[in-house]
Amino acid sequence: MTTKPERQHLLIDADDTLWENNIYFEEAFDNFVDFLDHSSMTAVEIRAVLDEIEIANIKTHGYGALNFGRNLAQCYERLSEREISEPDLRQAMSFAKQILECPMELIEGVSETLEYLSGRHELTLFTKGHPEEQRLKIDRSGLGPYFSHTAIVREKHSKAYATLARERTLDPDRTWMVGNSPKSDINPALAAGLNAVYIPHPRTWVLEKEEVQHGKGRLIVLENFSALRSYF
């Protein structure tokens, strides 16, 4: 695009697009590894077991810090070389609960860029996860007022994009999903016939990583959130 387009619908991801999120989960995992204090398993091997538990549990319980705590407790049960006790399970879970108390750290340039974009386009916050946890983060971020609509869903698959587009009567040609996750933001939006703006985050959760697959829509890859200004 050489000239800025007329009014567009921008669907914008939250975690690791607007604010830091996964770094806190990584921190919780590091604390968990210290506490587990395994005699032979490396952090990478422990992570592989946790990933397996997470993939199985996401289907029934979804995402979020409290679910992550449950997953850590299960991982502890499976791997601990000590006798399993209630206090130790609670301790394993507590590393995840601390995530809820972490300060909201907005990613550089986000506030100013949202202010600029909200004056020219229609912004929808589109996030997945535990509804209460996500709502709380939106409130604490102070970014809510830039968005004319917020949608929190269990999973951001292509059906979720199609449903959102239908319910909000979005014109696919003028609708873009902006986010850091190929798996939840870029590929399903393109598959649903929308356009996408991929802004990679170096600390993206491993379960969100995927090869970007081109679809019908247009794809823009940007280095940072502020760069949206040049296109919109």
Between CA 199 and CA 221 the distance in angstroms is 6
Q: Which is nearer to Mg ion, 191 or 199 (CB)?
A: 199
Q: Which is nearer to Mg ion, 19 or 146 (CB)?
A: 19
CB of 76 to Mg ion, least distance (A): 27
Q: Which is nearer to Mg ion, 49 or 227 (CB)?
A: 227
Between CA 77 and CA 175 the distance in angstroms is 45
Helix (H, G, I), strand (E, B) or coil at 201: coil
CB of 231 to Mg ion, least distance (A): 19
The answer to whether 221 and 198 have CB atoms below 8 angstroms apart is yes
Return the structure tokens found at 190: 């393109």
CB of 209 to Mg ion, least distance (A): 11
The residues binding Mg ion (CB under 5 A) are 13, 15-17, 180-181
Q: Which is nearer to Mg ion, 181 or 187 (CB)?
A: 181
What is the β-pairing status of strands 219-221 and 195-198?
parallel
CB of 38 to Mg ion, least distance (A): 30
Q: Supply the angle between the helices 65-79 and 43-61 in degrees, to the nearest 10.
A: 130
